[in-house]
Structures are given as structure tokens and as C-alpha cells.
Amino acid sequence: MASNKLHIGTSGWSYKDWVGPFYPAGTKQGDYFPYFTAHYKTVEIDSTFYATPRVSPKLR
């Protein structure tokens, strides 16, 4: 049986302007992503718009 689910997310998560409206006041930037993933299951990362990602030396 096919699953027709709609996944809601955003086009990023690291916005300082979201502290207060979305992230609790005082949330540190390093805690944005864990907080975000507790509320959303998907996020768009359009990094290829800016440049082609490089392969990390650790992955070679």
C-alpha cells in the first residue's frame, strides 16, 4: 500500500532571528539543530545553489 504523507519543513534552521519566535530565548546556536529536529522531520539545504559541496577528506 502506498503511503501518501506530506512532510513539512523549512529551508534552514540556523537563523538567529528565530530565537524568541521559535527557539526558546537563550538557545545557543549549537543547540538549534537538535531543537529543530524535535519539531520537524525534514529540512531543505540548498547548498548547491551557492557552490558544489566538496568531499570531506575524512570520507575519501
Examine residue 23 and state whether it is found in any structural domain, yes or no: yes
Report CA torsion sign: 17, 23, 29, 34.
negative
Examine residue 58 and state whether it is found in any structural domain, yes or no: no
Query: How confident is the model at residue 24, as a pLDDT?
Result: 97
The pTM of this model reads: 0.66
The predicted-structure confidence for 20-41, as pLDDT tens digits, reads as follows 999 999 999 999 999 999 998 8
Examine residue 44 and state whether it is found in any structural domain, yes or no: yes
Residue 14 has pLDDT above 80, yes or no: yes
Residue with cell 529543530: 36
Task: Give the domain range for residue 15.
Answer: 9-49
Domains contained in the chain, number: 1
Examine residue 36 and state whether it is found in any structural domain, yes or no: yes
The predicted-structure confidence for 44-56, as pLDDT tens digits, reads as follows 877 767 777 777 7
Examine residue 42 and state whether it is found in any structural domain, yes or no: yes
